[in-house]
Amino acid sequence: MMERVYTKLVFETWYLEMDIESAIAAGEYTKTYYLDDRTIGRVDLYDRDEGLCKVSYREVPPPHDELVAEHRSKYPSAMCEVWTPAVRSADGLRVSRTCLYDATGMPDVRFEIHSDDNGRWQREIRLGPDGDPIEERRPLLDGKGEQIGFELYDPAGHLHTKYFNDDWT
């Protein structure tokens, strides 16, 4: 089995207004585990109704078969997500591929995440089973650089939808 050693654990809340004790009591929080090099190694997502609902493994080079099999045996009811180590793209962004596996361990949803050196995403490209782009999501920022929503583009790069954060409330 794959051996990963985590050096630090941080609890985080889903909502800014919740303190960690309230979030844990409500069952809505994440646990983030860091590796020796201070990169994120794993993120566990908890939901009040489901408990542990997703485990996201970070910085894992392919192949992922062994890790996914181990995950299915330890956490059969939690989704399994795996991120590859980031590589630098021609435009200077860090690019990682991520895959969400279904309950049988088969790849289900794939993304390519483009982020800056601070980890802030710049593009998220949903990939089809063949690896071709299906849709691209880009952040919508206000004049202060804060994210206020996102834009969706088709594979040809044409904008088709804008979503604003206040549309979700």
Domain assignment of residue 139, given as a range: 87-169
pLDDT of residue 169: 40
Neighbours of 160 (CB within 10 A): 9
At residue 10, the pLDDT reads: 72
Residue 59 vs residues 12, 75, 85, 99: alpha-carbon distances, Å: 20, 20, 4, 12
Same structural domain, 14 and 31: yes
End residue of a domain, out of 28, 61, 85:
85
**What is the predicted pLDDT for the residue at 103?**
81
Q: Do 45 and 123 have their domain in common?
A: no
Asked if 135 and 81 sit in the same domain, the reply is no
Q: How far apart are CA 32 and CA 13, in angstroms?
A: 11
Q: Which helix (H) or strand (E) holds 147?
A: strand 147-153
Residue 63: closest CA among 117, 107, 8, 9:
107
pLDDT of residue 5: 67
| pLDDT at residue 1, rounded to an integer | 46
Whether 33 and 109 map to the same domain: the answer is: no
* The model scores a pTM over 0.85: no
Last residue of a domain, one of 85, 116, 138: 85
Per-10-residue mean pLDDT of the chain, 169 residues long, equals 63 63 74 83 86 91 92 92 95 95 89 92 93 94 90 94 75
Tell me: do 21 and 74 sit in the same domain.
yes
Domain count, the chain: 2
What per-residue confidence (pLDDT) applies to 91? 94
Q: Check whether residue 147 and residue 165 sit in a common domain.
A: yes
Q: What is the pLDDT of residue 157?
A: 93
pLDDT of residue 167: 66
- 71 close to 88: Cβ distance less than 8 angstroms: no
Query: Are 78 and 92 members of one domain?
Result: no
Per-residue pLDDT tens for 79-127?
999 999 999 999 999 999 999 998 888 899 999 999 999 888 999 999 9
